[in-house]
Structure 1
Amino acid sequence: MTSALPLLVFSDLDGTLLDHQTYSWAAARPALNALADCGAGVVLASSKTAVEIQILQQEMGLTQWPAIVENGAGVIWRADSDVFDTASYDKLRVALADLPSGFVGFGDMSDQDVVDETGLSLEGAKAARMRCFSEPGLWQGPVDRLAEFLDAARDKGIYARQGGRFLTLSFGRTKADAMAEVAARLAPKTTLALGDAPNDIEMLLAADHGVLVANPSAPPIPKTPDTKKLIRTIEHGPMGWNQAVLSLLNDQNLTKGTTAHG
């Protein structure tokens, strides 16, 4: 991890590198292999917890790279990846208790509840509830009361981010903030960011190359003057991720005979 790093990829997980329904990343394996071959780094950036992301880093062979956890609220660096401090999460839960009712967070759910909502295994759900910084959940109150809830949250310094599946609450740090921290430390020549949901947009726009991965299950991303410059994939999830990454590697002359079609 030196200044010679040719490319640093920042990637959302659910609905982007992981299939929205199956959580499989198998379709992205050719691109992940190509990134490793050319010495590029991959920083997973998700609403997932440190425990969840460390498992995926091990599966994908990405343990040498940092990861952005809980929607940017924290960064795992290899040297201190086993340090987990729940003080920020505990403070958030106390603040949430004073807000109008209707939001049901992971802290209000059992492991089985999270299994039912996500399709994760029981072990995966347990890891998803081991939080340090932020609280994902569902708005189950009246639709017309959501704005009131969000206003009350902002008054307490709590910000909401709508992902592909959950509304996540935290004290305001974003994936883009964490991305800037990681990029400053690793100094890549080029950055690429991929995501599928509204909470990814700031990260995508901050990268040299931003890719909006198709996800029909996520809220639609409007075409604004800013988002018009983003690359939009046709294929969904890891298949779209794979094609977009391989295409960029070809454009940057970083591949070793790999085509955009794998």
Structure 2
Amino acid sequence: MTWLVFTDLDGTLLDHATYDWSPARPALDRLAALGIPLILASSKTAAEIAPLHGALGLGQAPAIVENGAGIWQPGDAEAAEAPAYRRLRWLLEEVPPPLRARFCGFGDMDDRQVAALTGLSPAAAALARRRKFSEPGLWQGTAEERRAFLGELERLGLAARDGGRFLTLSFGATKAGRMAEIALRYGAGTTVALGDAPNDREMIEAATHGVIIRNPHGPGLPELSGEAAGRIRRSAAEGPEGWNAAILDLTAGLAPQES
């Protein structure tokens, strides 16, 4: 029976502060030995995902980018145009100015500002700003203004999702939806999903096995219905250490021919 593992990055496979993934190396090696594809599922852009995908040695496995707004396949040439992102930014300007002013998206910032917010280098921040499908940003208004802002987005056909750090706008595609699409493509009988933030909830709940990775730096996740039955578990350790332990535990009974 084919297994697929889907994972969030920041605060999950990558350390929240340093973006280091090396503590997860034993589990990554275990997945490779079993022949289980690892599907990165992140708010990161394709431009950010590509070098990490190569460093992790993930072969031809696709990646879910920009919070599920798109799918990247290794070898895809980067298009010069980004019509979906351009339309999103155009629609955002249709929000009434007092509300629009409360949202500062990556398209409203320069590389230096994004670097300061994320801890990325200026070069890495430039890749994070190379959007194709979605717009992350900071909300800096009241709860009442936020409700009004979200209502305006819905009127315009846009969706908003909370991540570990940013409010991300898109046309509504999700990590869970992309997970189902990729699982169908592979004919996967078993899916594993790991994440740490509210934007991972649907993916974790939809998987055969879900793992909530401990991240005290983010908003976290409430108790999910699958936890009582043991289908969803929580890691004791944070970030890649928790990720490593969870994957080794879940795959402990598998042999290479079973993958």
Report the TM-score when normalising by structure 2: 0.92
- Structure 1 window deviating more from structure 2 (9-18 vs 74-83): it is 74-83
Question: In the alignment, what sits opposite 1:191?
Answer: 191
RMSD: 1.7
Question: In the alignment, what sits opposite 1:24?
Answer: 20
Does structure 1 residue 239 correspond to structure 2 residue 241?
yes
Does structure 1 residue 98 correspond to structure 2 residue 99?
no
Does structure 1 residue 140 correspond to structure 2 residue 140?
yes
How far has the Cα of 1:63 moved from its partner?
3.4
Q: What SS does the aligned partner of 2:225 have?
A: coil
Q: What SS does the aligned partner of 1:78 have?
A: coil
How far has the Cα of 1:85 moved from its partner?
4.6
How far has the Cα of 1:79 moved from its partner?
5.3
After superposition, the C-alpha distances for 1:101-148 in whole angstroms (9 at most, x for unaligned) are 200000000000000000001111000000000000100233431111
Amino acid at match of 1:44: L
Q: What SS does the aligned partner of 2:251 have?
A: helix
Question: In the alignment, what sits opposite 1:37?
Answer: 33
Contact 2:35 2:256 in 1 (8 A): no
Does structure 1 residue 62 correspond to structure 2 residue 58?
yes
Q: Whole-Å Cα distance in 1 between the matches of residues 140 and 256 of structure 2?
A: 47
Match of 1:78 among 74, 77, 86: 74
Q: How does 1:1-262 map to 2 (within 5 A)?
A: 6-78=2-74, 80=76, 82-83=78-79, 85-99=81-95, 100-101=99-100, 102-226=102-226, 228=228, 229-250=231-252, 252-254=253-255
Contact 1:49 1:127 in 2 (8 A): yes
How far has the Cα of 1:188 moved from its partner?
2.3
Question: In the alignment, what sits opposite 1:260?
Answer: none
How far has the Cα of 1:253 moved from its partner?
2.1
Q: Whole-Å Cα distance in 2 between the matches of residues 165 and 123 of structure 1?
A: 20
User: Which consecutive residues of structure 1, in runs of 5 or more, have no partner in the other structure?
Assistant: 257-262
How far has the Cα of 1:205 moved from its partner?
1.1
User: Sequence identity, in percent?
Assistant: 51
- Structure 1 window deviating more from structure 2 (188-197 vs 125-134): it is 188-197
- Cα distance change on mapping 1:65 and 1:196 into 2, 3 Å: same
Q: What SS does the aligned partner of 1:192 have?
A: strand
User: Which consecutive residues of structure 2, in runs of 5 or more, have no partner in the other structure?
Assistant: none
How far has the Cα of 1:55 moved from its partner?
1.1
How far has the Cα of 1:254 moved from its partner?
3.5
- Cα distance change on mapping 1:227 and 1:201 into 2, 3 Å: farther
How far has the Cα of 1:230 moved from its partner?
1.6
Report the TM-score when normalising by structure 1: 0.91
Amino acid at match of 1:14: D
Contact 1:89 1:131 in 2 (8 A): yes
Give the aligned length. Answer: 251
Q: Whole-Å Cα distance in 1 between the matches of residues 155 and 245 of structure 2?
A: 42
Q: Whole-Å Cα distance in 1 between the matches of residues 256 and 246 of structure 2?
A: 13
